[in-house]
Amino acid sequence: MKNVKFFLIIVLALVVCIGKVGAQINNITPAPVRFIGGACNKNYCTPASPFDYSQLTKLYIEGGDSVDAERIEAAIKAVGFDLKRTKRPSKSGDIRVYINPDSMSFDEGYALVTAENCVLITARTSAGAFYAIQTMRQLIESGEWLTGAIADYPRFDYRGILIDISRHHRSVEFLKRQIDMMARLKMNRLHLHLTDAAGWRIEVESYPRLTEYAAWRKGATWKEWWSRDNRDYAEMGSEGAYGGYLTKEDAKELVRYAADRYITIIPEIEMPGHSAEVVAAYPELACSHKPEQQEDLCIGKETTFEMMQAILDEIIEVFPSEYIHIGGDEATKKSWTECEDCQRRMREEGLESVDELQSYMIHRIEEYLNARGRQIIGWDEILEGGLAPNATVMSWRGEEGGRAAAAAGHKVVMSPHAYCYIDAPQDAPPTQPEAIGGYLPLEKVYSYDPTPKDMPEEVSQYILGVQGNLWAEFIPTDEHYEMMLWPRAIAIAEVGWSQPNEKEYAHFRSRATDIVERMMKEGYHPFDLKSEIGERPESLQPIKHLARGKAVTYNLPSRYYAPQYGAAGDATLTDGLRGTWTYADGRWQGFLGRGGVDVTIDMGEVTHIESISADFMQYCGPGVFMPCLVEIAISEDGEHYTKIANIEHEVVVEDVPSFKSFGWSGSAEARYIRYKAHRSKFSGFLFIDEVVVK
Q: Cβ(494)–Cβ(445) under 8 Å?
A: no
**Active site includes 525?**
no
Q: In 3D, which of 623, 661, 656 has the Cα closest to residue 645? A: 661
Distance CA 473, CA 489 (A): 18
Nearer to Zn ion, 167 or 345 (CB): 345
Catalytically annotated residue among 274, 325, 410, 545: 274
Q: Quote the least distance from Cβ 379 to ligand ACM, whole Å.
A: 5
**Active site includes 330?**
yes
Q: Quote the least distance from Cβ 332 to Zn ion, whole Å.
A: 12
CA atoms in the 13 A half-sphere facing the CB of 5:
2
Nearer to ligand ACM, 39 or 382 (CB): 382
**300 touches Zn ion (CB under 5 A):** yes
Q: Quote the least distance from Cβ 560 to ligand ACM, whole Å.
A: 32
Nearer to ligand ACM, 45 or 377 (CB): 377
Q: In 3D, which of 10, 113, 117 has the Cα closest to residue 56? A: 117
Distance CA 110, CA 123 (A): 4
| CA quadruple 120, 122, 128, 132: dihedral, nearest 10 | -20
Where residue 487 falls (left for φ over 0; alpha for ψ -120 to 50; beta otherwise) is: alpha
| Continuous segment of H or E residues that includes residue 661 | strand 658-678
Q: Quote the least distance from Cβ 445 to ligand ACM, whole Å.
A: 16
Residues within window 332-371 making contact with Zn ion, judged by CB under 5 A: 339, 341-342
Give the residue at shortest CB distance from ligand ACM: 329
What mask, x for binding ligand ACM by CB under 6 A, covers residues 282 to 321?
A: ----------------------------------------
End-to-end CA gap in the chain: 79
Q: Quote the least distance from Cβ 527 to Zn ion, whole Å.
A: 44
Distance CA 692, CA 402 (A): 42
Nearer to ligand ACM, 396 or 641 (CB): 396
297 binds, among ligand ACM, Zn ion, none (CB under 5 to 8 A by kind): none
The maximal CA–CA distance of the chain, rounded, in angstroms, is 97
The only residue of 62, 70, 330, 514 in contact with ligand ACM, by rule CB under 6 A: 330
579 binds, among ligand ACM, Zn ion, none (CB under 5 to 8 A by kind): none
Total binding residues toward ligand ACM, as defined by CB under 6 A: 4
Question: What are residue 379's DSSP bridge partners?
Answer: 394
141 binds, among Zn ion, ligand ACM, none (CB under 5 to 8 A by kind): none
What is the DSSP secondary structure assignment for residue 96, as one 8-state letter? E
Q: Quote the least distance from Cβ 600 to ligand ACM, whole Å.
A: 42
**419 touches ligand ACM (CB under 6 A):** no
341 binds, among Zn ion, ligand ACM, none (CB under 5 to 8 A by kind): Zn ion
Q: Quote the least distance from Cβ 285 to Zn ion, whole Å.
A: 9
Q: In 3D, which of 205, 28, 40, 233 has the Cα closest to residue 133? A: 28
Catalytically annotated residue among 94, 108, 196, 381: 196
Nearer to Zn ion, 132 or 339 (CB): 339
Total binding residues toward Zn ion, as defined by CB under 5 A: 6
Q: Distance of CA 8 to CAs 12, 32, 35, 103, 595, Å?
A: 6, 19, 16, 7, 75
Q: In 3D, which of 614, 650, 649 has the Cα closest to residue 632? A: 614
Distance CA 454, CA 141 (A): 38
Residues within window 360-389 making contact with ligand ACM, judged by CB under 6 A: 379
Strands (E) across 569-657 are located at: 589-591, 597-618, 629-635, 642-648
Distance CA 374, CA 376 (A): 7
339 binds, among ligand ACM, Zn ion, none (CB under 5 to 8 A by kind): Zn ion
Nearer to Zn ion, 70 or 341 (CB): 341
| Continuous segment of H or E residues that includes residue 123 | strand 118-123
CB atoms within 10 A of CB 452: 10
490 binds, among ligand ACM, Zn ion, none (CB under 5 to 8 A by kind): none
Nearer to ligand ACM, 329 or 514 (CB): 329
Residues, the chain: 694
329 binds, among ligand ACM, Zn ion, none (CB under 5 to 8 A by kind): ligand ACM
Catalytically annotated residue among 141, 260, 330, 570: 330
Q: Quote the least distance from Cβ 338 to Zn ion, whole Å.
A: 8
Distance CA 185, CA 637 (A): 66
The only residue of 56, 298, 382, 485 in contact with Zn ion, by rule CB under 5 A: 298
625 binds, among Zn ion, ligand ACM, none (CB under 5 to 8 A by kind): none
Q: How far is CA 596 from the centre of its chain?
A: 35
Q: Distance of CA 271 to CAs 344, 491, 552, 567, 576, Å?
A: 20, 30, 50, 37, 48
The only residue of 144, 329, 528, 636 in contact with ligand ACM, by rule CB under 6 A: 329
Q: For helices 488-497 and 172-184, what crossing angle results, to 10°? A: 50
Which of the stretches 19-27, 59-67, 117-125, 285-293 binds Zn ion when contact is defined by CB under 5 A?
Answer: 285-293
Which of the stretches 280-288, 437-445, 468-476, 599-607 binds Zn ion when contact is defined by CB under 5 A?
Answer: 280-288
**Active site includes 274?**
yes
For residue 87, give the amino acid letter: K
**396 touches ligand ACM (CB under 6 A):** yes
**532 touches ligand ACM (CB under 6 A):** no
Q: Distance of CA 639 to CAs 197, 385, 587, 633, Å?
A: 57, 58, 30, 11
Q: Quote the least distance from Cβ 388 to ligand ACM, whole Å.
A: 17
Contacting positions for Zn ion (CB under 5 A):
287, 298, 300, 339, 341-342
Active-site positions read 196, 274, 330
**Which positions lie near ligand ACM, rule CB under 6 A?**
329-330, 379, 396
